[in-house]
Amino acid sequence: MSHNDLTGQTFGRLTVIEESGRSSNGSVLWLCRCSCRKMKTATASHLLGGYIQSCGCLNKQCAAEKGMSVMGKKSDGMSLERIINQLSSLKVNSEDFARNEKDDPDSVWREDIVTLEEAISILSDLQDYGCSTADEFRDWFHDVKLMQKESQSMHRRFRVEERPYHRDGVWHCPACDHRVMPKHSFCHWCGKKLGGW
């Protein structure tokens, strides 16, 4: 065991399981389980410094967010082509830094490269669909997030079956807490799908 035992600690989406050997430069490697259930090894310095926070599943999520941050208020009216060029330049810089850390397979720069490649890919796809400016992308992204929330809300409310609970001799809806009749398949108050009678 290492002097600094990280077993059981959580860093971002990663929970440390056990020590897993040493890297090529002699740093202790820790085996971690990501919240998506994939395994990842990382050094203590990368975990403690916050440089590695997932198995890589966070990269796709960050790719869209990184694209949005590049297109913040300063980029109003900026074309997606110009933003893609800026991201490509950042990717080249990250590749240069990664070459300097070639002995470290978990280099933060390698994760940046993957994230930037995904952001560039997403923005290129948006261009193919006719989106040409940051404002159009921002509107599209906002609409997609709203539709996603509405879809999740409808799914929870109408599709996911939940068992009513019994309190004070009466059955209640788990979603709105109103009384419901036994064996009914929907709450007449909120529309929640009921089951498990």
Same structural domain, 142 and 176: no
Note the pLDDT of residue 103.
65
Note the pLDDT of residue 2.
44
pTM for the whole thing?
0.37
Note the pLDDT of residue 1.
45
Note the pLDDT of residue 4.
80
Query: Which domain, by its residues, includes 5?
Result: 1-55
pLDDT in tens, 68-102: 554 444 445 678 888 888 999 988 888 888 877 76
Same structural domain, 68 and 135: yes
Same structural domain, 75 and 136: yes
Note the pLDDT of residue 17.
93
Beta carbons within 8 Å of 59's beta carbon, 6+ residues apart = 111, 114, 115, 118
Same structural domain, 143 and 73: yes
Residue predicted with more confidence, 155 or 1: 155
Q: Which helix (H) or strand (E) holds 166?
A: strand 165-167
- Give the integer Cα–Cα distance in Å for 60 and 119: 8
Closest listed residue to residue 69, CA positions, set 48, 90, 55, 93: 90
pLDDT greater than 90 at residue 172: yes
DSSP state of 164: -
Mean pLDDT in residue range 48-55: 85
Task: Count structural domains, the chain.
Answer: 3
